[in-house]
Chain A
Amino acid sequence: QKEVEQDPGPLSVPEGAIVSLNCTYSNSAFQYFMWYRQYSRKGPELLMYTYSSGNKEDGRFTAQVDKSSKYISLFIRDSQPSDSATYLCAMRGIELKAAGNKLTFGGGTRVLVKP
Chain B
Amino acid sequence: DSGVTQTPKHLITATGQRVTLRCSPRSGDLSVYWYQQSLDQGLQFLIQYYNGEERAKGNILERFSAQQFPDLHSELNLSSLELGDSALYFCASSAQGRAGNTIYFGEGSWLTVV
**Residue in chain B with minimal CB distance to A103:** B103
List chain A residues, Cβ under 8 A from B31. Answer: 100-101
- If A43-B2, A99-B56, A100-B31 are given as contacts, then 14 extra A-B residue pairs at C-beta distance below 8 Å, sorted by A number, are A32-B99, A32-B100, A36-B105, A41-B88, A41-B110, A45-B105, A46-B103, A94-B99, A100-B48, A100-B50, A101-B103, A102-B48, A105-B42, A108-B42
Q: A43-B90, A44-B43, A88-B43 are in contact. Are A101 and B97 (CB under 8 A)?
A: yes
Give the number of chain B interface residues (Cβ < 8 Å).
Answer: 28
B-side residues, CB < 8 A to A, are 2, 4, 31, 33, 42-43, 45, 48, 50, 55-56, 58, 88, 90, 94, 97-108, 110
A62, chain B: closest CB distance, angstroms: 18
Q: List 28 A-B contacts (CB under 8 A).
A: A32-B100, A41-B88, A41-B108, A42-B108, A43-B2, A43-B105, A43-B107, A43-B108, A44-B43, A44-B105, A45-B2, A51-B100, A95-B99, A99-B56, A100-B31, A100-B48, A100-B56, A101-B31, A101-B55, A101-B94, A101-B101, A102-B45, A102-B48, A102-B56, A102-B58, A103-B33, A106-B42, A108-B42
The yes or no answer to A80 lying at the interface (CB within 8 A) is no
A101 & B108 in contact (Cβ 8 Å cutoff): no
Residues of A within 8 A of B (CB): 31-32, 34, 36, 41-46, 49, 51, 88, 94-95, 97-108
Please give the distance in Å from B66's CB to the nearest CB on chain A: 13
Q: Which residues of chain B have C-beta atoms less than 8 A from A97's C-beta?
A: 55
Closest to A94 in B: B99
* Residues on B with beta carbons closer than 8 Å to the beta carbon of A45: 2, 105
Output the least CB separation between B22 and chain A (Å): 15
Cα distance A31–B98 in the bound complex, in angstroms: 13
Partner of B48, one of A44, A51, A101: A101
**Closest Cβ neighbor of A88 among chain B residues:** B43
